[in-house]
Amino acid sequence: MTRDLAVDAELESEYNNMARRADAGALLQQLAAVSASYRAEADSILDCRYGSHARETLDIFRCGRAHAPLFVYLHGGYWQRGDKSIYSYIAQPFNRVGVDVAVIGYPLCPEVSMTGLVQSLRKAIIWLYRNAASHGIDPDRINLSGHSAGGHLTALALATRWPELERDLPADLLKTAIPISGLYLLEPLRHTTIGEALRLTDSETRDLSPALLSAAHAAPMLTIVGGAETAAFFHQADSLQEAWSRPGLIIERYTEPDADHFDVVARLQSGDSAIFQRIVDWLS
């Protein structure tokens, strides 16, 4: 791809988290190993297909309790990296406290456009709603969360008018939303190397930026940011909160102390972590 926008050095430094954390690759490998271990012992249904693309699959981890809340997780990786298999570890502490978990995989840019990726997200959520009961989970207790790019997708899902996609879907399909260190304004990323694979058009940049949209339903939203994140990620969270604040919509902020962009989600390994407890308390 020929770059049509120059790289802004300050934005590159603020958003390029892999460059800021020398051991990021090793940390992801460690999390992948923990995840593989849990998949071997969990009550799970793996690689449920919700679409025709090879990556349009999701994993379900059941806690064994009837009508448990469902925590649905969307991984990060700037829409161009990552795999759901790395994040099975998230299910373990939630399952232990009586919460079902689904981890969604999705196609990546540049193989698909951002618009296509968002369509996959919506297909996955609709599939979960329609197939939950047959897999022993509650379709009326769907709580959506995601980290980084997954936080962006979480907010977009809350801005989705589900009955306009399929008439029999409830407007309140999502009971809560918990975006973690998400991206809610896409324009800054077009001025970084991260934006190259995204190939964002002007219309996508506008139409797929949650902070330029509005919530379609008044589901409570908890925005989480790591306390050691760059200023850019606090600005992103502030932008969403300011844009969506209105009477009747509950939006709260939680900052996980001393956590950078990777630690904030890695801490979900532990049921004793403050971020885990805060999320559990938020689930509907």
Domain locations along the chain: 9-282
Residue of higher predicted confidence among 52 and 218:
52
Checking if the pLDDT of 30 tops 60, the result is: yes
- The pTM of the full predicted model, rounded to 2 decimals, is 0.97
Is residue 119 scored above 70 in pLDDT? yes
Residue 125's nearest CA partner among 214, 38, 48 is: 48
Q: Furthest-apart CA pair in the chain: how many Å?
A: 53
When pLDDT is averaged across residues 105-109 and rounded to a whole number, the result is 98
pLDDT digit string (tens) for 59-104? 999 999 999 999 999 999 999 999 999 999 999 999 999 999 999 9
Q: Mean pLDDT throughout 48-61?
A: 98
Phi, psi of 160 (to 5 degrees): -85, 130
Q: Is residue 4 scored above 70 in pLDDT? A: no
What 3-state DSSP class applies to 274?
A: helix
Inform me whether the pLDDT recorded for 206 exceeds 60: yes
135-191 pLDDT per residue, tens:
999 999 999 999 999 999 999 999 999 999 999 999 999 999 999 999 999 999 999
Q: What is the rounded CA–CA span in Å between residue 11 and residue 191?
A: 7
- Residues in the chain, total: 284
Identify the CA nearest to 96 among candidates 282, 278, 276. 276
Q: Are strands 221-226 and 142-147 parallel, antiparallel or unpaired?
A: unpaired
Give the Cα separation of 192 and 14 in Å (integer).
10
DSSP code of 212?
A: G
Cβ atoms within 10 Å, residue 214: 12
Angle at 198 between CA 35 and CA 194, to 5 degrees: 75
Residues 244, 177: Cα–Cα separation, whole Å? 13
Fold of 9-282: Rossmann fold (3.40.50)
Q: Which residues contact 262 (CB under 8 A, 6 or more apart)?
A: 17, 21, 24, 27
- Take residue 180 and report the two structure tokens written for it: 């973690």
Q: Alpha-carbon torsion 187, 191, 192, 196, what sign? A: positive
Rg over alpha carbons for the chain, rounded to the nearest Å, is 18
Instruction: List the Cα angle 65/139/224 in 5-degree steps.
Output: 85
Residue 3 has pLDDT above 80, yes or no: no
Over the stretch 228-269, which tens digit does the pLDDT of each residue have? 999 999 999 999 999 999 888 899 999 999 999 999 999 999
